[in-house]
Amino acid sequence: MSDVDSFIDEVTEEVRRDRLYLLLRRWGWIGVLLVVLIVGGAAFNEIRKSRATSQAQELGDAILAALAKNDSGERATDLAAVESASPGGDAVLNMLLSASQVEAGSEQDAVDSLNTIAVQGDLPEIYRAIAAFKALLLQSDTMPAADRRQQFEALAAPGAPLRLLAEEQLALIDVAEGNTDAAIERLQTLRQDAEIGADLQQRAAQLIVALGGVPEPLVARQG
């Protein structure tokens, strides 16, 4: 390499260093800011996780302390006083509270607790459906059959998580209203459903027999 080429390379390298230094002076703060944001974000996530864990532990301790009470009325009172900072915690609390209220003989209060869960839109559908179903069962003797039918029909909509159990309850409402044929027909259809479990299928068959019907042979399922 000639002296001229060497000189040109040195000058070029020096220009590159000057440009890099200039860029660092002009834009280097962006890199620093990015580092601060990344480190700060990680620290914030850790703090948030730690806070969530602490809140969950406090909620669990409060629930266990309330459940340790032997008297169902005291349990219900203590559970009602527990506060939760999350929708899931509220659902757990109200489920446990409703159970204690039923044991204490306060069925309407239990229904109210369950309905609180049923209308909590930020909960998964399965939890809201379970709460609504249990609330309807508690009102079997107090809610008009027509109103219960309407609500069970909503729970029996295609794709609903408790669809088959709701169909069973609709058959029982048919029986209570003296519509035996409709009940048997509903139960026959229920037994053939591809998603039905063995226990529910057996209950449906037993009820058909009790109503004077004959369970239809089960259709072989594909797969």
Structure tokens belonging to residue 71: 């008297």
At 146, the pLDDT band (50, 70, 90 cuts) reads very high
pLDDT of 42 strictly over 90: no
pLDDT averaged over every residue in the chain: 82
**H runs (alpha helix) in the chain:** 3-67, 72-81, 87-103, 107-118, 125-138, 145-155, 163-176, 180-191, 198-210
Residue of 81, 77, 125 lying closest to 100 (CA atoms): 77
pTM over 0.75: no
CA distance 47 to 35: 18
At 79, the pLDDT band (50, 70, 90 cuts) reads confident
- Which tens digit of pLDDT belongs to each residue from 176-196? 999 999 999 999 999 999 999
Q: Which of 30-39, 60-69, 210-219 has the lowest mean pLDDT?
A: 30-39
pLDDT of 97 strictly over 60: yes
For the chain, domain boundaries: 1-47, 56-140, 144-223
Which residue is associated with the tokens 């226990």? 199
Q: Which of 8-12, 49-53, 165-169 has the lowest mean pLDDT?
A: 8-12
pLDDT of amino acid 84? 78
